[in-house]
Structure 1
Amino acid sequence: MPELKLARLPDRTPVKLAITVTPDLHQMLQEYATLYAEAYGREEPIAELIPAMLANFLDGDRGFARSRNRS
C-alpha cells in the first residue's frame, strides 16, 4: 500500500437529529438568522446555522476540550 501525505479522511456521513426547542429559543434563533443575513449578505436557514453554532460552542468549551484530551 502506498504511503500518502494525506491521511485517510474521516467519516463524513451526516447524522440527522430532530430536536424540539422552546418558543423563546426559536425566536432567538430567528433573530440570529436575521443578524447573520445582515452581517454576511446571505440568508441561511436556521437548520443550517445550528450545526455551526453547536460546533463553535463545543470548540470554545475549555472543560470539554480538556475532557476530550484525557481520552
Structure 2
Amino acid sequence: MGDLKLGKLPDRIPVKLTITIAPSLQRALQAYAELYRETYGQAEPVTELIPYMLESFLASDRSYAKALKNRPDGAARVDGPKSTRRKQRLGDASPPES
C-alpha cells in the first residue's frame, strides 16, 4: 500500500493533570484572566487559559526547541492543528499555520 498524503493523526486524547500552585501564582493567573477579558471582551476561566499559556511558553523556548531537534525520537512538539485551533478560538486574525 502506498503512502497517503495525510499522515497518521497524532494522539488527541486529552490528559488531565492536577497540580498545586502557590497563592501568588494563583493571583497572577487570575489577574491575567482579567486582563484577557478586558483585552478580548470575553471571559475565560484560568483553567481554560493555562494549557494555551503552557503551549505558548514551550513553543517560544529556543533551548527546548534546540534540544528536541537533537532527540532521535522526535519528542512531542508544540505545533500543528492544536496551535491553529487556539489561534482561531482566541480570535487571531492571522491565517492558520500550514
What TM bracket, shorter-length normalisation?
Answer: over 0.9
Report the TM-score when normalising by structure 2.
Answer: 0.68
Structure 2: gaps of 5 or more residues: 72-98
Other-structure match for 1:4: 4
Q: What RMSD in Å do the two structures reach over aligned CA positions? A: 1.1
Which amino acid is 2:32 matched to?
Y
| Residue 26 of structure 2 corresponds to residue 26 of structure 1 | yes
Other-structure match for 2:38: 38
Other-structure match for 1:54: 54
More helix by share: 1
Number of aligned residues:
71
Which amino acid is 1:28 matched to?
A
Q: Tell me the distance in 1 between the aligned counterparts of 2:13 and 2:68.
A: 22
Any idea what the Cα deviations from partners look like across 1:8-27, whole Å, max 9, x if unmatched?
A: 21001000000111110000
Q: How far did 1:63 drift?
A: 0.5
Structure 1: gaps of 5 or more residues: none
Q: How far did 1:30 drift?
A: 0.2
Identity of aligned residues (%): 54
Which amino acid is 2:17 matched to?
L
Any idea what the Cα deviations from partners look like across 1:6-64, whole Å, max 9, x if unmatched?
A: 21210010000001111100000000000001111111110110010001001110000
